[in-house]
Structure 1
Amino acid sequence: MKNKTMMITISYFAMALLCIAPSDAQTQGVGFGYRGKNGPNQWGHLNPHFTKCAVGKLQSPIDIQKRQIFYNRKLESLHRDYFITNATLVDHVCNVAMVFAEGAGDVIIENKNYTLVQMHWHTPSEHHLHGVQYAAELHMVHQAKDGSFAVVASLFKIGAEEPFLSQMKGRLVKLKEERSKGNQTAQVEVGKIDTRHIERKTRKFYRYVGSLTTPPCSENVIWTILGKVRSMSKEQVELLKSPLDTSFKNNARPCQPLNGRRVEMFHELVDAKETGNKKKKPAIRRRNPIKN
């Protein structure tokens, strides 16, 4: 009986991680939600593994306020190096995600390589910028060999269509259809996908140490919030919500206390003005992409 209870607890923990970490486990019974008795205010009490959600001091998301921002001239420009790779669109119950095969590429932060494993969307945005909550937020989840996470986030306002989501429209519709059939682990093969379009030049970003924004709310996650707010159409926002159950359509955790943390800012234009030079891109430790 003791072993059975332990296995249930481990499975429950693994399923919760699906909302940010890649896994082949089933997604039924995620066990938390965004309203009511299993909403964000209760996450820390739903499972012993979720305690950080209630007592952690480095929690995410946050509201990035001007008075809390520190311009750090030592920060390096964000350099991402992505490759063409296979991808699968997945309904992770708590969000819609795109999971990448091995060899998707890397981001280097503080001389450490983090490999792109998946990306997913929150509607509305989880992070606020100067008190403003946006229509959506994209999280590009990277993981180092030691298991640590680095997430690069983009905020979206309502406006022109987002090109990548425009390409994915048919597959998102198919994912909704699969989910409507009662398939709790609905997924749609995307095939080869070019993620290099995401390597757009980033002149400004915010950096801080936080946590996963879903249970178990594990901390010491390096967050990079891109300063440029992009746009997607209202229809695209609704399309991202469409495969999700009602309790997960608005899947944004409320902002958490900063607790004395400092949000650092990189701004290429400020640095160029002060020094007359642009910073060099850090040399990324390349690995040969795996051919599928």
Structure 2
Amino acid sequence: MAKFQTKLFACSLVLLLVLQYSRLATSQEVEDESEFNYSENSERGPARWGEIHPEWGACSNGTMQSPIDMSNERVEIVSHLGRLKRSYKPANATLRNRGHDMMLSWEGEEAGLIEINGTEYALHQCHWHSPSEHTIDGRRFDLEAHLVHQSADGKIAVVGILYKIGRSDPFIASLGDHLAAITDITQGQRGVGVVDPRGIKFGSRKYYRYIGSLTVPPCTENVVWSFVRKVRTVTREQPFSPQGAYGRQVFLWPFYPLNKLQNSAIDMATMQRSGVLKKTKESALFVFTTILGLVFGFLIGISLPVFSRYMNYLPSSHRSSVDAAVSNDQVFFAVKSPKTTAGNVTPPPPMKRIHRNPRSDPRIARLPPRIIVPKSDLFLHRLWGLPTLDLKRKPKYLATFSVGIDQMNNIDACVRKFSADFQILLFHYDGRTNEWDRFDWSKRAIHVSVKKQTKWWYAKRFLHPDVVSSYEYIFIWDEDLGVEHFNAQRYIELVKKHGLEISQPGVDPDDGLTWQMTKRRDDLEVHKVTTEKPGWCLDQHLPPCAAFVEITAPVFSREAWRCVWYMIQNDLVYGWGLDFALRRCVDPAHEKIGVVDSQWGITKYGKCRGRGVRKRCKTERSMFQNRLASADEAYRVQSRAG
């Protein structure tokens, strides 16, 4: 009987290992690009990937597909996930142009490990996509890197890094000569000697975590994604960037119009959703393997004395157990190594998901992806000559003012404080524009004339984030501002130096109609916190003691404005109440919102003039606060309901 049990266990073990190997074999990325492409209208395009091979079924029917939009509003902060523990080391590497991306692969498992939830994953390769596949709050970045790891039992973990245009990235720069040698895909492989993956810089403390899939066939699911929160930089000239030498070859996902992504392409599904999963070929194999394992486990349990002897000869990686945590009718599995506990198994936070073919409008679907221009700008062009020669210099920043003819001289003095790096935009609430031609700068300014409207009405209608995305900072100022002690270029330098996403110039301390937070301090360049009257601040990190500027002369970074614009209500034209809510758009707010003291001079304030107007302002503030409170409560209820 003992011999029979031994043979039975041996056969069972071999069969399970064969099934496991067959499952791992289908989890690897397909490297032969001839089998698929990225043309939306092609028979081998993303919408048809799941039909090309049965084992690629997850590309069409998967329930946890990547990429996704990592919306900050939907992210849950989980403190116990811990750092990304890396132990990378130099190893021989090969650089390969796979057509759909550039891949740097290391030999075997010589490049070291990363530890996630107690499981060790060996670094196999790194590759780059331009533009990014993943987005944050709907924003697509210039470049995305994937560091692909695999555990001893074949599970995949990917560390993602996003890049924007800025300073040079040293690691990518070090590969420049090798990349130049493989631009031709037919000769797209080159040994590059020893490469140290520690040169790929990324933080380990703050990151997004979710369970998704490979982004190329076979679209294997249950991939552990860890996206570094800090966005790094590359220059426009560096390889992989959209304007870089090889950007044309690594272009991956078409950049669809953002409103299409939000309205029709994002499914507000979460990783905790209940319901029956669609069974692809891969999931069917997993179910079959699980059932078979249970049957053999029962038989092995009968022969436990014999099995205990074999346990001593199994590799430690195969002794890890499988724990399950149950949440909202969904079971989440995680491999538990001897160092972990079941408490570490946490359902991933809810995320927005981006489908592969978001263009539901058949008219847009007719367009080739590369002709689509999803964003606009406010750059002024000539009406003759070559379009490519229109702009000798593109403005970096945008300064807007709501103006009337009575404040012409004050606006003239103000505009002269802004250099040629600023695009000037005037919103004329009195409908009079011809009189402004007396100023030399008026010909270079943009004039928008709509009678009897307010600054925030104009901002909501004409400053959509996709229209002003070309500008690093957006000034949205009133017309009656004194700027005797203000220099716009120096102001920008200080904002960047102190990491301010939302700011304003300091206010004359003698002005009694302002908050303590916005009053200028003589001994500082910038301040981010203050002391208010007793009882005014529930927390020193909250408005009006911190994370606060007024709505008279705010300055927003491009990223912050994208969030603030969505908070502006169409019917609440005075914007009262926004000042206390701006902190929702940056994190940590008490570090990224502040007042610039050394560039000041705001001595006048636009007030709600007239009894009827002032009553309207106060009414709008109450309405905004009530809407925000109701929205918060509805969101909490929705989150609890799953």
TM-score (norm 2): 0.35
Question: Could you list the per-position Cα deviations for residues 123-143 of structure 1 after superposition, in whole angstroms to 9, with x for gaps in the alignment?
Answer: 110110111100110000000
Distance verdict in 2 for CA 1:193–1:233, change over 3 Å: same
1:31 aligned onto 2:36: yes
User: CA–CA distance in 2 between the matches of 1:96 and 1:34?
Assistant: 19
| Aligned-pair Cα RMSD in Å | 2.6
Aligned to 2:181: 174
1:258 offset after TM fit, Å?
5.7
Q: Are residues 1:164 and 2:171 paired?
A: yes
Matches of 2:177 and 2:123 in 1, distance apart? Answer: 24
Q: CA deviation at 1:166?
A: 0.8
Alignment of 1:255-270 (within 5 A): 257=267, 259-261=269-271, 262-263=348-349
SS at match of 2:103: strand
Say if 1:91 and 1:29 are closer, same or farther in 2 by CA, change over 3 A. Answer: same
The aligned counterpart of 2:106 is: 100
Specify whether residues 47 and 32 from structure 1 end up closer, same or farther in structure 2 by C-alpha distance, changes over 3 A only: farther
Ranges of 4+ aligned residues in structure 1 off by more than 3 Å = 13-16, 253-258
Point out the structure with the larger helix share: 2
Is it true that 1:46 corresponds to 2:42 in the alignment? no
Name stretches of at least 5 consecutive residues in structure 1 with no aligned partner: 1-9, 20-26, 271-292
Question: Structure 1 pair 207/15, CA: closer, same or farther in 2 (3 Å)?
Answer: closer
Give the residue type in structure 1 aligned to 2:159: V
2:82 maps to 1:82: no
Deviation of 1:202 (Å): 2.6
Q: Are the aligned partners of 1:44 and 1:53 in contact in 2 as well (CA < 8 Å)? A: yes
Match of 2:208 in 1: 206
Query: 2:47 is paired with a residue of what secondary structure?
Result: helix
Kindly indicate whether the alpha-carbon contact (under 8 Å) linking 2:203 and 2:228 is maintained by their aligned counterparts in 1.
no
Please state how far the C-alpha of 1:49 moved relative to its aligned partner.
1.8
For residue 92 of structure 2, what is the amino acid of its counterpart?
N
Q: Distance in 2 between matches of 1:41 and 1:52?
A: 12
3-state SS of paired residue (1:70): coil
Residue 206 of structure 1 contacts residue 264 of structure 1 at CA under 8 Å; is this kept in 2?
no
Q: 2:234 corresponds to which residue?
A: 232
1:80 offset after TM fit, Å?
0.9
Bigger strand fraction: 1
Kindly, what percent of the aligned residue pairs are identical? 33
Structure 2 segments unaligned to the other structure (5+ residues): 1-21, 256-264, 272-347, 352-586, 589-642
Could you give the per-residue CA deviations for residues 202-260 of structure 1, whole angstroms, max 9, x where no partner exists? 33100000000011101000000000000111222123435x3xxxx421378874631
In 2: Cα distance, 1:65 partner to 1:85 partner:
36
Could you tell me how far apart the structure 2 residues matched to 1:162 and 1:198 are?
Answer: 9
Q: Is the 8 A contact 2:103 2:126 kept in 1?
A: yes
1:151 maps to what in 2?
158
CA contact (8 A) 2:95 2:105 kept: yes
Residue of structure 1 equivalent to 2:252:
251
Q: Is the 8 A contact 1:126 1:137 kept in 2?
A: yes
Separation (CA, whole Å) in 1 of partners of 2:150 and 2:171: 23
Counterparts of 1:209 and 1:48, CA distance in 2: 23
CA distance in 1, matches of 2:214, 2:268: 15
Partner deviation per Cα, 1:28-50 (whole Å, 9 max, x = no partner)? 62323343312222222222222
Residue 190, structure 1, aligned to residue 192, structure 2: yes
Instruction: Indicate the larger mover: 189-198 or 215-224.
Output: 189-198
Shift of the 258–112 alpha-carbon distance from structure 1 to 2, 3 Å rule, reads: farther
Give, in whole Å, the separation in 2 of the partners of 1:74 and 1:263.
Answer: 14
- What is the TM-score when the length of structure 1 is the normalising length? 0.75
Secondary structure of the 2:34 match is coil
Question: 1 CA distance for matches of 2:79 and 2:141?
Answer: 28
d(CA) in 2 for partners of 1:124, 1:190: 25
- 1:284 is matched with which residue? none
Q: Does 1:136 align with 2:143?
A: yes
2:74 to 68, 76, 79: 68
SS in 2 for 1:234: coil
Amino acid in the other structure paired with 1:109: I
**How many corresponding residue pairs?**
239
Larger Rg belongs to: 2
For residues 210 and 257 of structure 1, the distance between their equivalents in structure 2, rounded to whole angstroms, comes to: 14
Alignment of 1:17 with 2:29, yes or no, is yes
Q: Which moved more, 1:206-215 or 1:94-103?
A: 94-103
Which residue does 1:110 correspond to in 2?
Answer: 117
Greater mean deviation of Cα atoms: 82-91 or 93-102: 93-102
Partner residue in 2 for 1:281: none
Give the Cα–Cα distance (whole angstroms) in 2 for the partners of residues 212 and 257 of structure 1: 19
Contact persistence 1:16–1:216 (CA under 8 A): yes
Q: Residue 256 and residue 126 in structure 1: after superposition, are their counterparts in 2 closer, same or farther (change >3 A)?
A: farther
**Which AA in structure 2 matches 1:133?**
R
User: Which residue in 1 is equivalent to 2:218?
Assistant: 216
Q: Distance in 2 between matches of 1:221 and 1:200?
A: 20
Distance 1:45 1:55, change over 3 A: same
Deviates more, 1:199-208 or 1:67-76: 199-208
